[in-house]
């Protein structure tokens, strides 16, 4: 695997040249993709990073003084996360868990690795993309990762949906997540989750979209 070392906003990363790796860093570190209204990343001292990819969010949060449990199912991405954690001297703040997080532990599940045109950030256990390969990955139950006072960033290409639907209490102090409408286009499903979150949290914010589609 050919790697290139780059610097970005005071942090360092190993990336695969001409792939989605640089886009992920630009979006998460440069674009503050997971900074939301009313709170900063450092407002929470402990984060669960579901869908770590190559470690951009975990390293950004740890650089701000947070502890992070970074969960990534793809073995190559997980290894790159570990390399990037070590590169930034953050082993004491970031724990890397190489698993696919699910509502319950099923042992193994198939993951569709989306490597077409160098895209390594849309790997999914729910959608088979054109290009790439399918590999078995170990699973882990979400409840085994939760710690008191933990915040959660969730970007796991469709797997966030069943996890959010399984929430029966306020698992996290706060959550920031991406909802993959290109994997499941059901607006009622999304609205049902938002209604549940409204009951658990004092404030729920999401970007606007055309609900008539």
- pLDDT digit string, tens, across residues 2-60: 999 999 999 999 999 999 999 999 999 998 888 876 778 988 999 999 999 999 999 99
Model pTM? 0.94
Phi, psi of 109 (to 5 degrees): -145, 155
pLDDT tens digits, 145-162: 999 999 999 999 999 999
Is residue 192 within 8 A of residue 199, CB to CB? The reply is no
213 pLDDT more than 70: no
Structure tokens of 59? 């390293």
Average pLDDT over residues 124-137: 90
- Residues 85, 76: Cα–Cα separation, whole Å: 14
Q: Scan for tokens 């640089």, then name that residue.
A: 22
Tokens of 176: 């920031």
**What is the pLDDT at residue 125?**
94
**What mean pLDDT comes out for the span 59-81?**
97
Q: Comparing C-alpha atoms, which of 131, 129, 184, 132 is closest to residue 160?
A: 184
CB-CB neighbours of 68 under 10 Å: 26
Half-sphere exposure of 124 (CA within 13 A, CB side): 20
């Amino acid at each position: 695997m050919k790697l290139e070392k780059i610097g970005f906003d005071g942090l360092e990363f190993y990336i695969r040249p001409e792939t989605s790796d640089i886009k992920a860093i630009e979006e998460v570190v440069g674009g503050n993709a997971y900074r939301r209204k009313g709170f900063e990343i450092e407002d929470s001292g402990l984060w669960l990073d579901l869908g770590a990819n190559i470690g951009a969010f975990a390293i950004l949060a740890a650089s701000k003084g947070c502890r992070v449990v970074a969960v990534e199912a793809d073995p190559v991405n997980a290894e790159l996360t570990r390399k990037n954690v070590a590169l930034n001297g953050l082993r004491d703040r970031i724990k890397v868990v190489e698993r696919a997080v699910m509502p319950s532990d099923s042992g193994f599940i198939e993951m569709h690795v989306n490597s077409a045109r160098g895209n390594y950030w849309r790997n999914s256990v729910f959608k088979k993309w054109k290009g790439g390969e399918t590999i078995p990955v170990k699973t882990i139950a979400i409840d085994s990762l939760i710690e008191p006072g933990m915040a959660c960033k969730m970007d796991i290409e469709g797997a966030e949906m069943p996890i959010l639907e399984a929430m029966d209490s306020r698992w996290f102090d706060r959550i920031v997540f991406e909802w993959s409408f290109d994997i499941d286009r059901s607006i009622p499903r999304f609205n049902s989750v938002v209604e549940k979150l409204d009951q658990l949290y004092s404030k729920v914010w999401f970007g606007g979209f055309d609900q008539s589609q």
